[in-house]
């Protein structure tokens, strides 16, 4: 059994958090690979190490001294080292790095040092081998990954060392230079390493006990989702739930490795398990109908009217216009003499009126109406397809709470039902669905 445990910035923010990480890692011998972010915030007012490093780079670029910021960075590493009684002379390496820092230093190399030094300290503390990401995370110039080379170097390292720590967030391009990923990229490193090592489980340790069933700013104390499929997660994330970025789960998803989101500050919580498919659902009665609710505000509803709309190719022509302006269509409702599509107001942006007039011209109809401030709310759940009458209950719950549904769409695989409501009824709709469907 092999598990890859990735720890986010808040899990490694100070010596106390390092101790929690060690307890977690040592409580399960299968946790043989640790991927670490850079130290995150210790309090709300604190700064992430990565942000401080970006700030250093900005100072260097503008010829302003970054000495104060650099000192606070060094102090943090030294404090962790001293607090944990480690022997790594981190100040020496920081000092020699500082002597190379100038306006020409690449921003990627500079900001990658957050993960580098945090992981060096972590490796000594855990007694694990430090495998630099520049020696195992091979990236192409366009930021894509060389999975074959990553797999051989990770496997080779594991043959020689039983337990390893890999810094997240960066890798190296073919020229040998360091390249960083997008912000939060350590999640990607964790997934890449898990796939490369053919791990049985990828654990992503953070500061929440899993993915919540609804936005906690709308629903009070929503329950965490115990188990979710990658397909459901995609639907929830697409509709606005802030969960792991899709790129970051792709490597483990493809390799069919389950992903467990866990809480470093509450390690006894089971967190959320993300799996390819759920083999045995258990008793349908003891699980809630929906897996989660999410949504987004600010969509526009555009209705095009013309007699016999399908045979006049109006739909095709309209979609071509939207495509030309790079506007994704969220959904379409179709009637005999009219259709309406929903698109995000941000995507329509400043082109909104050009698009409408082009639709009018191309399809020879002046009957195009636009209505803004629509919110889409998705109820996602693989179990909905097991239960006849779900959508009926759904709509009556919304109706009896006074939520007026403007559009309805259900995906053919019955994985989600998406409704459109006025922006002003968005929060109410989310609450009604959560409260109505989390109970059996």
Give the pairing of strands 407-410 and 416-422. antiparallel
Closer CB to ligand ASP, 112 or 363, in the complex: 112
Total site size for ligand ASP, rule CB under 6 A: 12
| Smallest distance from ligand ASP to CB 229, Å | 24
* Buried residues in 383-393 as b, exposed as e (16+ CB within 10 A): bbeeeeebbee
Closest of 201, 171, 221 to residue 6, by C-alpha: 201
Site string for ligand ASP, 46-65 (x = CB under 6 A): --x-x---------------
Q: Which one, of 7, 268, 210, lies nearest residue 126 by Cα?
A: 7
Query: How far apart (Å, rounded) are the C-alpha atoms in residues 201 and 244?
Result: 16
Of 168, 251, 295, 381, which one interacts with ligand ASP (CB under 6 A)? 168
Q: How far apart are CA 403 and CA 427, in angstroms?
A: 10
With contacts defined by CB under 6 A, name the span among 141-149, 178-186, 276-284, 416-424 that binds ligand ASP. 178-186
What residues from 186 to 205 belong to the interface with ligand ASP (CB under 6 A)? 186
Two tokens, residue 280: 């045995």
Q: Does 167 bind ligand ASP (CB under 6 A)?
A: no
Residue 2 CA, distance from chain mean position: 24
Nearer to ligand ASP, 20 or 245 (CB): 245
Q: How far is the CB of 186 from ligand ASP (least distance, A)?
A: 3
User: Would you say 115 and 160 are in contact if contact means Cβ atoms under 8 Å apart?
Assistant: no
- The region of 93-101, 143-151, 182-190, 219-227 touching ligand ASP under the rule CB under 6 A is 182-190
Smallest distance, Å, CB 90 to ligand ASP? 18
Contact with ligand ASP (CB under 6 A) among 143, 184, 224, 270: 184
Between helix 107-126 and helix 67-84 the angle, nearest 10°, is 10
Which stretch in 181-189, 196-204, 326-334, 372-380 sits in contact with ligand ASP by CB under 6 A?
A: 181-189
- E-assigned strands of 264-314? 272-275, 292-305
Nearest approach in angstroms of CB 183 to ligand ASP is 4
Does position 143 bind ligand ASP by CB under 6 A?
Answer: no
Q: Smallest distance from the beta carbon of 48 to ligand ASP, in angstroms?
A: 5
Question: Which of these segments, 75-83, 149-157, 179-187, 319-327, binds ligand ASP (CB under 6 A)?
Answer: 179-187
Least distance to ligand ASP, CB of residue 137, Å:
13
**140 in Cβ contact with 36 (< 8 Å):** no
Q: How far is CA 186 from CA 6, 30, 38, 207, 385, in A?
A: 8, 20, 9, 15, 36
Q: Does 185 help bind ligand ASP (rule: CB under 6 A)?
A: yes
Q: CA of 271: how far to CAs of 205, 264, 268, 430, in Å?
A: 9, 10, 9, 22
Whose CB is nearest to ligand ASP?
186
Q: Which residues bind ligand ASP (CB under 6 A)?
A: 9, 37-38, 48, 50, 114, 168-169, 183-186
């Amino acid at each position: 059994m092999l598990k890859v445990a990735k720890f986010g910035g808040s899990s490694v923010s100070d010596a106390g958090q390092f101790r929690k990480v060690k307890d977690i890692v040592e409580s399960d011998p299968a946790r043989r690979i640790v991927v670490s972010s850079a130290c995150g915030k210790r309090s709300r007012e604190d700064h992430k190490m990565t942000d401080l490093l970006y700030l250093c780079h900005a100072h260097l670029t503008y010829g302003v001294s970054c000495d104060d910021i650099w000192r606070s960075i060094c102090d943090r590493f030294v404090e962790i080292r001293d607090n944990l009684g480690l022997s790594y002379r981190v100040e020496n390496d920081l000092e020699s790095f500082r002597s190379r820092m100038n306006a020409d230093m690449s921003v990627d190399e500079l900001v990658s040092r957050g993960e580098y030094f945090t992981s060096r300290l972590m490796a000594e503390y855990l007694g694990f081998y430090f495998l630099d990401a520049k020696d195992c995370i091979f990236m192409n110039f366009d930021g894509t990954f060389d999975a074959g080379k990553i797999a051989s170097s990770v496997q080779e390292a594991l043959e020689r060392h039983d337990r390893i720590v890999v810094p997240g967030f960066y890798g190296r391009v073919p020229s040998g230079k360091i390249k960083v990923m997008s912000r939060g990229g350590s999640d990607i490193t964790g997934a890449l390493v898990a796939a490369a090592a053919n791990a049985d489980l990828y654990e992503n340790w953070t500061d929440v006990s899993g993915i919540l069933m609804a936005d906690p700013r709308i629903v009070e104390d929503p329950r965490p989702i115990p188990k979710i499929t990658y397909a459901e997660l995609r639907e929830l994330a697409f509709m606005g739930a802030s969960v792991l970025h899709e790129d970051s789960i792709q490597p483990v998803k493809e390799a069919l490795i389950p992903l467990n989101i866990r809480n470093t500050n509450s390690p006894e919580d089971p967190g959320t398990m993300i799996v390819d498919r759920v083999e045995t659902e258990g008793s349908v009665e003891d699980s809630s109908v929906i897996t989660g609710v999410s949504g987004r505000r600010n969509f526009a509803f555009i209705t095009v009217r013309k007699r016999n709309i399908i045979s006049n190719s109006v739909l095709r022509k309209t979609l071509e216009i939207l495509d030309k302006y790079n506007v994704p269509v969220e959904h379409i409702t179709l009637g005999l003499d009219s259709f309406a599509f929903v698109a995000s107001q941000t995507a329509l942006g400043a082109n909104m009126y050009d698009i409408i007039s082009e639709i009018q011209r191309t399809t020879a109809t002046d009957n195009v109406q636009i209505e803004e401030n629509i919110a889409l709310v998705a109820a996602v759940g693989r179990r909905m397809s097991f239960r006849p009458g779900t959508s009926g209950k759904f709509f009556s719950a919304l109706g009896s709470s006074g939520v007026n549904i403007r559009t309805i769409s259900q995906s053919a695989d019955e994985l989600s039902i998406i409704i459109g409501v006025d922006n002003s009824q968005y929060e109410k709709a989310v609450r009604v669905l959560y409260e109505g469907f989390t109970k059996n």
